[in-house]
Chain A
Amino acid sequence: AQSVAQPEDQVNVAEGNPLTVKCTYSVSGNPYLFWYVQYPNRGLQFLLKYITGDNLVKGSYGFEAEFNKSQTSFHLKKPSALVSDSALYFCAVRDFLRGSGNTGKLIFGQGTTLQVKP
Chain B
Amino acid sequence: DAGVIQSPRHEVTEMGQEVTLRCKPISGHDYLFWYRQTMMRGLELLIYFNNNVPIDDSGMPEDRFSAKMPNASFSTLKIQPSEPRDSAVYFCASSPAQGWVSGNTIYFGEGSWLTVV
Is B106 a contact of A52 with CB atoms below 8 Å?
A: no
- Give per-residue flags for B79-112: 1 if the beta carbon is below 8 A from chain A beta carbons, else 0: 0000000000001010100101101111111110
Q: Which residues of B contact A (CB under 8 A)?
A: 4, 31, 33, 42-43, 45, 48, 50, 55-56, 91, 93, 95, 98, 100-101, 103-111, 113
Q: Which of A64-72, A77-85, A97-105 lines the interface with chain B?
A: A97-105
Main secondary structure of the interface of A (DSSP, over half): strand
Chain A residues with CB under 8 A of B95: 104
A104 touching B104 in the complex, CB below 8 Å, given contacts A42-B110, A90-B43, A110-B42: yes
A46 touching B55 in the complex, CB below 8 Å, given contacts A104-B31, A111-B42: no
B30's nearest neighbour on chain A, judged by CB, is: A104
A5 lies within 8 A of chain B by Cβ: no
Q: Which residues of A contact B (CB under 8 A)?
A: 32, 34, 36, 41-46, 49, 51-52, 90, 94, 102-106, 108, 110-111
> How far is A17 from B4 in the complex, measured between Cα atoms in Å?
34
Is A43 a contact of B91 with CB atoms below 8 Å?
A: yes
A46's nearest neighbour on chain B, judged by CB, is: B105
A44's nearest neighbour on chain B, judged by CB, is: B108
Is B104 a contact of A94 with CB atoms below 8 Å?
A: yes
A34 touching B105 in the complex, CB below 8 Å, given contacts A104-B98, A105-B33, A105-B56: yes
> How far is A111 from B101 in the complex, measured between Cα atoms in Å?
26
Chain B residues with CB under 8 A of A111: 42-43
Chain B residues with CB under 8 A of A32: 103-104
> How far is A107 from B101 in the complex, measured between Cα atoms in Å?
19
A43 touching B104 in the complex, CB below 8 Å, given contacts A104-B50, A105-B33, A110-B42: no
> How far is A45 from B108 in the complex, measured between Cα atoms in Å?
7
Sample of 20 A–B contacts (CB below 8 Å): A32-B104, A43-B4, A43-B108, A43-B109, A44-B93, A44-B108, A46-B105, A49-B103, A94-B104, A102-B98, A102-B104, A104-B55, A104-B98, A104-B104, A105-B45, A106-B104, A108-B42, A108-B43, A110-B42, A111-B43
